[in-house]
Structure 1
Amino acid sequence: MALSSQLLSPNGAKPINFSSKVPRPSICRRGSSSFRPKTQSKRSPFGRILASGSSESGRRQLEVVYDPEDRINRLADEVDKNASLSRLNLFSPCKINVFLRITGKREDGFHDLASLFHVISLGDTIKFSLSPTKTRDRLSTNVPGIPLDDSNLIIRALNLYRKKTGTDNFFWIHLDKKVPTGAGLGGGSSNAATALWAANQFSGSLATEKDLQEWSAEIGSDVPFFFSHGAAYCTGRGEIVEDIPRPIPLDLPMVLIKPREACPTAEVYKRFRLDQASSVDPLALLQKINENGISQDVCVNDLEPPAFEVVPSLKRLKQRVLAASRGEYNAVFMSGSGSTIVGIGSPDPPQFIYDDDDYKDVFLSEASFLTRQENQWYTEPSSSPASSFTKEEASNVE
């Protein structure tokens, strides 16, 4: 885990760098008297007091310079002195569903599923810093439109950890978002799991990994999976997680193609019909993957038909990728409830993605499979793709 050299300002603005001193803007409150150039500086709790030489009236003049950023720096320095861990940067990877079977409707309104979840190398970066105050968490992000209040899964996870453990740590958090939303990749669930892990590290690991996994089900059905080692057979609502031996080579490449349209999960499940679902045994799919690897016939997703109703263009995208692949991909399928189409076997999208204006706004990223060691969080591979972009952005890269 890499320790950050930056701390977020409480208003959610750009990070403040503590490793070097830079000129800071000051708010000067001046009287009408003139000041001579020679001054002496004295530091106050909220800024600097500058004392000048005598004015024409013979009186000593004071200039009070309020420096809020300097105050934040000094508060953070106090946190650093008093805490064994004050800053933490963590990778927050997303996942794909290699297969996803919906096996029934539950009395509580949810659906039972059986799915092979696997973490992949595309992910966000989250920077955590202990807040010098014990009042609330402050979240900022690089992407507009993401909620920054208690509805955000990161804040919900931190609130849950404090509730379960009785700790009183609050945080400044910056989310560097790379995983698209509404994509079926579990980006928000991963953020929540990462926040729980971070809170536990700051508190000296009061909870076990098993505790964190069990608690995380209160946030969302996909969150417990991220406390697996990266590959798991998940059942129930998704919260029953069974770690499995790595079924897929980690160096097997893939490409992720997500159109601008998102697939609202609730709407996809609303249109789901059990009589349209596959009848194949999910354990048979898992066994076949273990024996023969990934192929088109094992990458079953029962949510594809309703998702294609919600976003009809998604069905055509999958069909075109399949037709254009010419055997380049081992399998092409939709992840989760959509709307990401995954091509396993090559990191490159088909050429029509670049040529056709209908796909000028798609999100593209290469990725590979990823796991973690026990008692360690996921780390971003050194060769992790920097290629998360839209087609329009790609056209500007020479």
Structure 2
Amino acid sequence: MATMAASHFFHRRHVISSGDCPSITSNPLAGGSLKQFSSFYKPKGFSSVQNNYRNLRTQAASDGRKQVEIVYNLDEKLNRLADEVDMDAGLSRLTLFSPCKINVFLRITSKRPDGFHDLASLFHVISLGDKIKFSLSPSKSTDRLSTNVPGIPLDERNLIIKALNLYRKKTGSDKFFWVHVDKRVPTGAGLGGGSSNAATALWAANQFSGGLATEKELQEWSGEIGSDVPFFFSNGAAYCTGRGEIVQDIPSPVPFDLPMVLIKPPEACSTAEVYKRFRLDVSSTIDPLTLLEKISKSGISQDVCVNDLEPPAFEVLPSLKRLKQRIIAAGRGKYDAVFMSGSGSTIVGVGSPDPPQFIYDEEDYKDVFFSEANFITRADQQWYSEPSSSSNAGSPADQTSCTA
């Protein structure tokens, strides 16, 4: 049935293989990089001219002078010029995978004097993500952002633009960019898609500038954009505390081949409204380090996937509580755990990549986003890569009304 779901939704959504991410165009003589885009620089409309010149030959003169042959290969000359442009320009294009995350557990431990809450959570990157293309802009004053999803802000409200502005402020870089986001992660979902986009933009800007900043500096700066952004500079699995910005890398405590399904209704939960309704006195009291230890030793189970934001989120969106209950009941034990990620409104079912049958059958769920996923991490000094087996299915109807 998962295959049916994928085929039903793939015609609405662009899916790429892992071979596309990350894709880098740089100095063709530096680091063994391929000259992937030299053809980009070739002027068009020369075909008839070059054919004339390529085969142009002088005829033997009637006075018997030596015949001269002229072979002018314009194609070869243009390629040589393109190579020279590439060498002068350095990195000019970069395509990166921007994955989202789930909170395997999320404990709210206290309320801070500044009005925020302290949390303790196991964050983990998963294989669902956006694809972001960066190109150097000739402009020295403005970034240009586009996306495949209507309703996404394309100005300074977007976290990508905020990240690029922050990088220039911190480093003095004068580089501006054309950015296109192929959006697959639903927004307002508790999956950190916007935070991941911001982290990916910081990483990209640093690559274009030859690594002016260390990863640690990028991570520290990123906290100025949002509490979840620093996590994405971890290795992909981290125990996060504070507002989420204190990131402790840990070895992934879960197997990478453990499947899951993400199910998100069209409605989003307001994070501010969820925290407004949160009551510390009725929340869980279990030690988050105990939860982490249990997961490390015994894996994921329903009792360790505690999310203290579920009760207030279910008050904000009662239909979300019914959705979770129905997934558990219809799953008949095929899920190791069913829980909400972040402040909602995504419900995660770990243990199977397939949604329950009622998601396909009932009219009430025709606009629900769903996607299979797996846990992933990244290698040192490299950004995240989309696994070749990653499959992204879902209804874009959910995304059209959301903002980044």
Q: Is the 8 A contact 1:268 1:306 kept in 2?
A: yes
- Specify the SS of the correspondent of 1:287: helix
Q: Tell me the TM-score normalized by structure 1.
A: 0.80
Give 2:320's match in structure 1, choosing from 314, 318, 326: 314
Residues of 1 paired with 2:101 and 2:83: CA distance?
37
Cα distance 1:319–1:20, how it changes in 2: closer, same or farther (>3 A)?
farther
**Residue type of the partner of 1:92?**
S
Residues of 1 paired with 2:158 and 2:245: CA distance?
20
Q: Is the 8 A contact 1:89 1:125 kept in 2?
A: yes
Q: Is the 8 A contact 2:100 2:127 kept in 1?
A: yes
Partner of 1:2: 23
> What is the Cα deviation at residue 83 of structure 1?
1.9
- Specify the SS of the correspondent of 2:303: helix
Name whichever structure is richer in helix by fraction.
2
> What is the Cα deviation at residue 246 of structure 1?
1.2
Residues of 1 paired with 2:177 and 2:229: CA distance?
21
Residues of 1 paired with 2:348 and 2:309: CA distance?
14
Partner of 1:240: 246
Partner of 2:176: 170
Residues of 2 paired with 1:81 and 1:4: CA distance?
11
Structure number with the bigger relative contact order (C-alpha 8 A, sep ≥ 6) is 2
Q: Is the 8 A contact 2:25 2:91 kept in 1?
A: no
- 2:146 is the alignment partner of 1:140: yes
Partner of 1:285: 291
Q: Is the 8 A contact 1:353 1:391 kept in 2?
A: no
Partner of 1:18: 40
Residues of 1 paired with 2:190 and 2:257: CA distance?
22
Partner of 1:131: 137
Cα distance 1:165–1:271, how it changes in 2: closer, same or farther (>3 A)?
same
Name whichever structure is richer in strand by fraction.
1
Q: Tell me the TM-score normalized by structure 2.
A: 0.79
Partner of 2:366: 360
**Deviations for 1:220-277, whole angstroms, at most 9, x for unmatched residues?**
0000000000000000000000000110001100000000000111111111111121
Partner of 2:76: none
Partner of 2:383: 377
**Residue type of the partner of 1:262?**
A
Percent of aligned pairs sharing the same letter = 78
Partner of 2:277: 271
- Specify the SS of the correspondent of 1:298: coil
Q: What is the total number of aligned residue pairs between the two structures?
A: 330
Residues of 2 paired with 1:346 and 1:19: CA distance?
47
Unaligned ranges ≥5, structure 1: 6-16, 24-39, 41-75, 393-398
User: How large is the RMSD of aligned CA atoms in angstroms?
Assistant: 2.0
Partner of 1:61: none
**Residue type of the partner of 2:283?**
A
Alignment of 1:168-317 (within 5 A): 168-317=174-323
Residues of 1 paired with 2:395 and 2:141: CA distance?
37
- Specify the SS of the correspondent of 2:24: coil
> What is the Cα deviation at residue 327 of structure 1?
1.1
Cα distance 1:300–1:20, how it changes in 2: closer, same or farther (>3 A)?
farther
Cα distance 1:364–1:107, how it changes in 2: closer, same or farther (>3 A)?
same
**Deviations for 1:262-318, whole angstroms, at most 9, x for unmatched residues?**
011111111111112100000000000000000000000000001001111000000
Cα distance 1:391–1:145, how it changes in 2: closer, same or farther (>3 A)?
closer
Q: Is the 8 A contact 1:128 1:173 kept in 2?
A: yes
Residues of 2 paired with 1:124 and 1:330: CA distance?
27
